[in-house]
Amino acid sequence: MSKGNGVYLRFLVMEYGYVRRELEGAKLGNSKILIEGNEVYLLLTIRRNVEVNEHRNKLVIDINEDSVDCLLVNYDRSEATLFSIRHNIRKIRTNYRRIRKSIQEKVKNPKLRNELLAKYGSRERKRVEDRLKKITLLLAEIARENNADLVRESLKDLRLNSKKRSKQLNYRLSTFPYRKFIEYLNYKFSERGLSVLEVDAKRTSITCPICGYVDKKNRLDKETFKCRRCGFTFNAQYVACLNLFSRSDDSKVAIRGGRLILISRKTASVVAVNVALDEPPNHMRWLRGKPVPKLIISTPSS
């Protein structure tokens, strides 16, 4: 880059695999250099046409208090896997609530107090935002690797006023930035040419995926689902995923020879379901991110 008078600045450009992929077949638009402290960024604006197609493989997601629970159905490999990604957004919120409380109690100077509240407020937003971006990226990458469309609950319920919403949904909306999450997901999936399917999610957590019996008492506790009619017992966090799947794909969830299977009429196939270990696999480890900073209060010396 020329600084004028024959002086040039040279930059070491770090190249990332994903950037290379993004640039393939893209048109470069206005770009600029951004300097932030000691770091220099090259901001590239690109334009690309993407064709969104339908795929028979599906990634079904169910968003919960602490995790995004998923069912990946890959007909090409005759595989279906249930797994869970912890988003820990509730934990981030709780930590910052504690920090805010401590600022309110300990900082007497109103100006400083407001400054600190604003500072930690913006940190909290950034951390939540960062977490949302990482999780949606991870989901989109898993889907891309598997040529899978996204299946998620329909947003219809969210349009109702808060009195009509269920208690559980209201709680979820107050701690989890649901709309933003969906917005990122939709963007990242269509960017990769993958479709997004919305499914009615009513009572998916209390409906038996095998016999269809609906009852609040089907949920024994937070962890266990046990159907009062047919006795089907399963990890409660994955029951909604199974129901969302059968509602989206004209499919049935059944048990054959003691194994959970998916029967898809649309693709005329039968796939056995595996449950992945609870811990995220190695490549998901970066999701854990940085620890929440401790509160440091500095008082102006004057």
Report the interface residues with Zn ion, using CB under 5 A.
208, 210-211, 213, 227, 229-230, 232
Residue 160 or 230 having the CB closest to Zn ion: 230
Nearest to 225 by CA among 212, 213, 208: 208
Minimum separation from the CB atom of position 123 to Zn ion (A): 46
Residue 57 or 251 having the CB closest to Zn ion: 251
Minimum separation from the CB atom of position 209 to Zn ion (A): 8
Measured between alpha carbons, how far is 140 from 117 in angstroms, rounded to an integer?
34
Residue 125 or 229 having the CB closest to Zn ion: 229
Structure tokens at 192: 């990769």
Minimum separation from the CB atom of position 238 to Zn ion (A): 15
Minimum separation from the CB atom of position 94 to Zn ion (A): 36
Minimum separation from the CB atom of position 252 to Zn ion (A): 13
Residue 211 or 220 having the CB closest to Zn ion: 211
Structure tokens at 257: 């020879």
Measured between alpha carbons, how far is 168 from 64 in angstroms, rounded to an integer?
10
Nearest to 287 by CA among 62, 24, 87: 87
Structure tokens at 101: 């409380």
In DSSP terms, which residues pair with 264 in a beta bridge? 251, 269
* Residue 251 near residue 242 (C-beta atoms within 8 A): no
Minimum separation from the CB atom of position 291 to Zn ion (A): 43
Using the Cα atoms of residue 31, residue 35, residue 36 and residue 42 in order, give the sign of their dihedral.
positive
3-state class of 45 per DSSP?
coil
Residue 211 or 272 having the CB closest to Zn ion: 211
Residue 148 or 240 having the CB closest to Zn ion: 240
